[in-house]
Amino acid sequence: MSISELEDKAALFLKEAGAFTWHSFSVTRAFLPLVSLLASSDDITQDELSDVIDEIFVTLYKHPLTRHSRYLTEFLRRKNILPNEKSTDGLIRYVVEQVLLRSPVKVPEVVVNEFWTFFNELFSEPELKGLAELNLDIIRIILRCYEPLFTDIINLFKEGCRLNKSLISDFLGQMHMVRGDIAIIRRQAGALRYIKPFFQTDPKDFKTQARIVAKMVREFGPFFIKMAQVAAANADFLPEEIARELMVFQEDVPPMTAREVYEAFDACIGKKPHECYFDFNVDKPLKSGSIGSVYLAKKPVVSNGREVLKPVIIKVARGSIEREFLLGRTVLGVAIISSHYWAPHSKLAPFLEAMQQQAEEFVKGFQRELDFVREAESQKRFAKRCGNSLIWNVPEVYSVSKRIIEMEYIENAASISKVLDFIPEKKREKNARLIASRFLYTILLHAFVHQEFHGDLHPGNVLFNAHGDMYFIDWGNCVDLRGKWKPLWDYVSGALIADVNLLTTALINLSSDPEKNLKRKDEIRATLARTLEKKAVTPLGRKFLFQLRREGFEGIRRRIQVTLHLMSNTQHLGLVVKSEYLHLSRSIAAIVGTYLQLYRGLPRMLLLVDSLRTLAQLPLSLMLDRIADRRSAIYIRMILKFPLLAGMKNPSPLYLTGDYRFSSDSLPVVRDARQERANRHREGTAWR
């Protein structure tokens, strides 16, 4: 070795030693803001704590040891000691083969080729992360989950120093929460073990697969139950066995324990259930969902100068539901980040990182459903909007607290799916179409008139009582359409006409960070242009009719496929869609799924005809529904002329008895709805 080489190596060693010393000092200095924050007598905020922790991790990422861990990781991957890109390719091929084997329908070869094209079109080939970087990523995700808890603990300690030692019990309560979190994480992570037996089943044994999926959903908890409800609402696209298992989660899930109910009442009211209501059976809820359980009880009210017992519905939230969703997001985040280790592949890196951020946006919408006060406000708002409508109704809310809602009891109510099951075969088509028209009218009314609609209308949330009145329940998730029409329209139109500029702007506006993505506009536009070119989708000009005629049906099909392809693969562009747009699509999927179930076994042409007719009659239907209290022969004759309005007060149908049989084809006298609702409201709010 020559002297010059020795000098170069010595210089490199001194440079690395200096960098090591400097970065070690930087790491130590990065902890000073955290120490200062803890030493301050003022309370801290979650944002302040998050900022100082982020600074610490920035210096840790820059440390030479972290950087050099990549070389060790690359060596271990080259020696096949750790998973590498080659093993990832094999893993992906195995998953694709399993999907093809287990598909209920034959997957076209073009779809398989499209899948591989998708990965080939992913961004650049960034350097794979080293073990140290992966571990830092996982630790940061876990710390971010506990930042609200750490903030509360720190502020409790500071409050104790300022005042007295009585807040130690609150601190111990937070520590107890951590113990509960460990149990939740263990259960959620354990639920993932069902993935292996699922792949080991016969690809066509949907019955066994359905049981495995149901077990995994139940064990993971509320987050997966919510997803199962969305999937069940679109049961037409699933094998019958799996759809039947998932539909159970629309109607009922394991109920709350008596202890959980007592804890909720003690925390919110300071009393036991039997001290507030009569006949409140904590062991037998009417219905249980992912958020909580619903109970039937009686409370004393004053009616016409007399005290009577009025049936009411009590909805109680589960105690650890917020932690379930927060930890569910954390478990999914860790699983996705860990894929950098289990399936290291340069082309997967940006896709997985965008997928992780998209999962966090997805959970945000679910977390909004946990606010009972907000849910009660939404339910009251829509109850006021339905007013005296004879087409749709909303149960009234009598009282609300953080975890308890008291509301109107709908006697002899059954979900929309159960109502259809008990309709006699001869009357099923007529009644199903009638219910579908009323349902669609209500959705159109909410969307176009009120600019807001129910965000979780799976069949279990649409009830009919013995008189045929349709009720929408469970208003934890509402979708506000104000300000969303234009971005959605720009995206759909931009994709269909292949307008790259319009499509780029629309996707940036739909993303969670428009300002950041706006700086990448040229890059995103170039990627979209390449995608459209490869799909042979050309822009439509002024003579678009002649162009579409030349392209024929195949050209139209390609344009629709591009719209779906880009919408479902925004991670390919490095874009993360906002949570409100994600849950808008979830809400629309639930509505469409419920509407399609009403036409189960009926020709699809009837669905198209009925939908167009309901849409065309919307203005007149709305006008007649607003004057529904005018008890005149003219009004009744007008009702009979319109199929939708004919169901407002049952010219033919919907009289449920105890066994859900239908009777009576006569048109009853339209009641004075205003007076009846006023009486119900007065009785519901008259406390002893």
Q: Which helix H or strand E contains 267, and what residues bound it?
A: helix 258-268
458-460-461 Cα angle (round to 5): 75
| Residue 649 pLDDT level (bands cut at 50, 70, 90) | very low
Q: Quick check: is 134 in a domain?
A: yes
Residue ending a domain, choose from 142, 163, 188: 188
- Taken as a whole, the chain contains a residue count of 688
Look at residue 314 in the predicted model and tell me its pLDDT: 93
Look at residue 354 in the predicted model and tell me its pLDDT: 63
Selected residue with higher pLDDT from 112 and 63: 63
Residue 405, pLDDT > 90, answer yes
Q: What is the mean pLDDT of residues 610-623?
A: 87
Q: Quick check: is 444 in a domain?
A: no
Q: Quick check: is 154 in a domain?
A: yes
Selected residue with higher pLDDT from 660 and 552: 552
CB atoms within 10 A of CB 658: 7
CA distance 422 to 428: 9
Is 109 in the same domain as 226? no
Identify any residues that bridge with 283 across adjacent strands, giving them in sequence order: none
Is 216 in the same domain as 159? no
Q: Where are the beta strands (DSSP E) in 251-390?
A: 287-288, 292-303, 306-317
Q: Quick check: is 539 in a domain?
A: yes
**Rg, the chain, Cα only:** 30
Residue 517, pLDDT > 80, answer yes
Q: Quick check: is 329 in a domain?
A: no
Look at residue 323 in the predicted model and tell me its pLDDT: 77
Q: What is the mean pLDDT of residues 454-482?
A: 86
CB burial string 366-400: b at 16+ within 10 A, e below = bebbbebebbbebbbebbeebebbbbbbbbbbbbb
Q: What is the mean pLDDT of residues 56-70?
A: 83
Is 30 in the same domain as 70? yes
Whether the CB-CB separation of 537 and 492 falls below 8 Å is answered with no
296 CB contacts (<8 Å, ≥6 apart)? 279, 286, 311, 312, 313, 314, 409
Q: Quick check: is 459 in a domain?
A: no
Look at residue 380 in the predicted model and tell me its pLDDT: 94
Selected residue with higher pLDDT from 184 and 252: 184
Query: What angle, rounded to 10 degrees, do the helices at 46-62 and 32-39 form?
Result: 160
Is 38 in the same domain as 184? yes
Whether the CB-CB separation of 463 and 442 falls below 8 Å is answered with no
Is 131 in the same domain as 228? no
Q: Give the chain's largest Cα–Cα span.
A: 111
Question: Could you tell me if residue 304 is left (phi over 0), alpha (psi between -120 and 50 degrees) or otherwise beta?
Answer: left
How many angstroms from the chain centroid is the CA of residue 646? 35
Q: What is the mean pLDDT of residues 436-446?
A: 92
Whether the CB-CB separation of 308 and 253 falls below 8 Å is answered with no
Q: What is the mean pLDDT of residues 66-83?
A: 77
Q: Quick check: is 226 in a domain?
A: yes
Q: What is the mean pLDDT of residues 258-264?
A: 90
| Residue 480 pLDDT level (bands cut at 50, 70, 90) | confident
57-63-66 Cα angle (round to 5): 85
Residue ending a domain, choose from 155, 188, 221: 188
What confidence tens digit (pLDDT) does each residue in 483-499 have? 888 887 888 788 888 88
CA distance 288 to 255: 5
Look at residue 341 in the predicted model and tell me its pLDDT: 64
3-state helix, strand, coil in the chain (%, to 5): 65, 10, 25
Residue 59, pLDDT > 80, answer yes
Selected residue with higher pLDDT from 629 and 172: 172
Q: What is the mean pLDDT of residues 409-416?
A: 86
Residue ending a domain, choose from 543, 561, 579: 561
* pLDDT cut 70: percent of the chain above it: 72
Residue 459, pLDDT > 80, answer yes
Look at residue 133 in the predicted model and tell me its pLDDT: 80
Look at residue 409 in the predicted model and tell me its pLDDT: 92
**Domain ranges, residue 168:** 25-188
Decide: helix, strand or coil at residue 574.
coil
Residue 257, pLDDT > 50, answer yes
Residue 530, phi then psi, degrees to nearest 5: -65, -40
Identify any residues that bridge with 294 across adjacent strands, giving them in sequence order: 287, 315
CA distance 431 to 436: 8
Q: Which helix H or strand E contains 491, and what residues bound it?
A: helix 485-497
| Residue 658 pLDDT level (bands cut at 50, 70, 90) | very low
Look at residue 13 in the predicted model and tell me its pLDDT: 64
Is 40 in the same domain as 173? yes
CA distance 382 to 395: 9
Is 119 in the same domain as 208? no
CA distances in angstroms from 157 to 148, 150, 161, 502, 524, listed in the order given: 14, 11, 6, 53, 48
CA distances in angstroms from 335 to 328, 343, 392, listed in the order given: 11, 11, 43
Is 206 in the same domain as 179? no
Question: Could you tell me if residue 221 is left (phi over 0), alpha (psi between -120 and 50 degrees) or otherwise beta?
Answer: left
Selected residue with higher pLDDT from 421 and 112: 421
Identify any residues that bridge with 636 across adjacent strands, giving them in sequence order: none
Q: What is the mean pLDDT of residues 339-348?
A: 60
42-47-48 Cα angle (round to 5): 45
Look at residue 673 in the predicted model and tell me its pLDDT: 39
CB atoms within 10 A of CB 680: 13
Whether the CB-CB separation of 262 and 273 falls below 8 Å is answered with yes
Is 247 in the same domain as 152? no
Selected residue with higher pLDDT from 169 and 559: 559
Q: What is the mean pLDDT of residues 357-378?
A: 76
CA distance 110 to 477: 38
Give me the number of domains the chain comprises. Answer: 3
Whether the CB-CB separation of 188 and 221 falls below 8 Å is answered with yes
18-23: long-range pairs with CB below 8 Å, 24+: 19/64, 20/63, 20/64, 20/65, 23/59, 23/62, 23/63, 23/64
Q: What is the mean pLDDT of residues 541-553?
A: 74
Lowest mean pLDDT among 301-315, 586-600, 606-620: 586-600
Selected residue with higher pLDDT from 315 and 89: 315
CA distance 258 to 316: 11
Nearest to 284 by CA among 257, 317, 248: 257
Q: What is the mean pLDDT of residues 162-188?
A: 69
Q: Which of 63-72, 156-165, 348-357, 632-641 has the highest mean pLDDT?
A: 63-72
Nearest to 367 by CA among 315, 327, 313: 327
Selected residue with higher pLDDT from 635 and 71: 71
Whether the CB-CB separation of 136 and 57 falls below 8 Å is answered with yes
Nearest to 498 by CA among 565, 421, 576, 594: 565
Mean pLDDT of the chain, nearest integer: 75
- Which amino acid makes up residue 619? P
Residue 126, pLDDT > 70, answer no
Q: Quick check: is 412 in a domain?
A: no
CA distance 114 to 123: 16
Look at residue 645 in the predicted model and tell me its pLDDT: 40
Look at residue 659 in the predicted model and tell me its pLDDT: 33
Selected residue with higher pLDDT from 236 and 383: 383
What confidence tens digit (pLDDT) does each residue in 195-239 have? 778 777 887 787 887 888 888 877 877 777 766 765 665 555 466
Q: Which helix H or strand E contains 88, and what residues bound it?
A: helix 85-102
Is 126 in the same domain as 48? yes
Is 108 in the same domain as 38? yes
Residue 434, pLDDT > 50, answer yes
Residue 505, pLDDT > 80, answer yes
Is 121 in the same domain as 209? no
Look at residue 265 in the predicted model and tell me its pLDDT: 92
Look at residue 424 in the predicted model and tell me its pLDDT: 79
What confidence tens digit (pLDDT) does each residue in 141-161 have? 888 888 888 888 888 888 777
